[in-house]
């Protein structure tokens, strides 16, 4: 086994990294190209009448309440993830299941 210098090892490592990144970039290009081809094919197969028709305004229907939930929750300057953590902590401290508690609103105190 031949001893190689640190400079030679660095050059070999950089060439290896370059080959890997080139392969990744090439693969990314192929995937992007295939995506554009499939989108073009999909748009080509759509009927022209459907594309010409204006899109109707979405109807906002109130979603049915999930079983075990207590209804809507108003969040005031609080992210949903933070609100979920607060509700879980309160349920844990009270020793009750979360579906037995009702949270009306959560507001950050500033």
Name which of 5-9, 38-42, 96-100 the model is least confident about: 96-100
Residue 29 forms part of a structural domain: yes
Domain for residue 79, yes or no? Answer: yes
Are 11 and 43 within one domain?
yes
The domain containing residue 100 runs over which residues?
74-107
The mean pLDDT of 3-14, rounded to a whole number, is 95
For residue 103, being part of any structural domain is answered with yes
The residue with tokens 């392969």 is 23
Domain annotation covers residue 69: no
Residues 78 and 48 in one domain: no
Q: Kindly report the pTM of this predicted structure.
A: 0.38
In a domain, 48, yes or no: yes
What is the tally of structural domains in the chain? 2
Local structure of residue 106 (DSSP, 8 states): E
pLDDT in tens, 72-101: 788 888 888 998 999 999 999 999 888 888
Q: How many angstroms separate the CA atoms of 100 and 78, rounded? A: 22
Residues 10 and 48 in one domain: yes
């Amino acid at each position: 086994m031949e001893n190689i210098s640190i400079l030679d090892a660095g050059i070999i490592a950089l060439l290896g990294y370059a080959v890997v990144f080139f392969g990744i970039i090439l693969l990314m290009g192929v995937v992007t190209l295939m995506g554009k081809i499939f989108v073009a094919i999909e748009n080509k197969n759509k009927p022209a009448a459907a594309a010409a028709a204006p899109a109707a305004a979405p109807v906002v229907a109130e979603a049915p309440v999930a079983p075990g939930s207590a209804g809507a929750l108003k969040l005031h300057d609080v992210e949903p993830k933070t609100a979920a953590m607060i509700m879980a902590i309160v349920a844990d401290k009270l020793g009750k299941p979360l579906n037995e508690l009702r949270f009306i609103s959560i507001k950050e105190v500033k």
